[in-house]
Amino acid sequence: MTTTEDIRDIFSILHDGTISAWTGGRNLLTLTVDCLYLAERIEKSFDRFYVVLMNIDKLELDPWTNLIDLPTVVKSDYSDIFKAELEILSANINDDVVVVACKQHDTNFDYCGGNLSISCQAIKVFDQNQNELTIDQFGEISKNYWDERSKK
């Protein structure tokens, strides 16, 4: 697996999760992703994960404006990108860059979501106690959740 595939897989697993906070910068950026339905499978009191992006080559948000005739301004400053909480919808690879489709619900912003483009040298995911999860472990947590849900 390549780093690009790992990024896609992690954000795909986190679909319906919300990026609620961020710290750091280009060399090491930590995203707090609220995702109760998966986090509580590790520990009942958990409600989030931490996604760490290392050595970022590209991180920008191409917003979906609320009005069709409003000009689109791509956001590349992290404080602008994560000003609104972004709900993860899906993740795909386009020209070796992961594109995460996100929506946001805060009507104080002139956009309802956007495409978050991510390219970095490495990615890691941690549970709420800062224990690192491998992609296989993370995928198994998700698979078990969806398998159980499909039986209801």
Query: The domain that contains 130 carries what CATH number?
Result: 2.30.310
Residue-number span of the structural domain to which 102 is assigned: 3-150
- Look at residue 148 in the predicted model and tell me its pLDDT: 86
C-alpha–C-alpha distance, residues 60 and 1, integer Å: 24
> pLDDT tens for residues 56-112?
999 999 999 987 777 889 999 999 999 999 999 999 999 999 999 999 999 999 999
- Look at residue 83 in the predicted model and tell me its pLDDT: 97
Model confidence, pTM = 0.94
What letters, b where the CB count within 10 A reaches 16 and e where it falls short, cover 15-24? bebbbbebee
- From start to end of the chain, where are the E strands? 18-24, 28-34, 48-65, 86-94, 97-103, 111-126, 132-133
- Look at residue 40 in the predicted model and tell me its pLDDT: 96
Number of domains present in the structure of the chain: 1
The answer, yes or no, to whether residue 1 has pLDDT greater than 70, is no
> pLDDT tens for residues 26-48?
999 999 999 999 999 999 999 99
SS3 28: strand
> pLDDT tens for residues 4-29?
999 999 999 999 999 999 999 999 99
| Residues constituting the chain | 152
With beta carbons less than 8 A apart as the criterion, state whether 129 and 43 touch. Answer: yes
Helix 135-150 and helix 3-13, axial crossing angle in degrees, nearest 10: 30
With beta carbons less than 8 A apart as the criterion, state whether 5 and 123 touch. Answer: no
The answer, yes or no, to whether residue 2 has pLDDT greater than 80, is no
Instruction: For residue 126, list its beta bridge partners.
Output: 50, 132
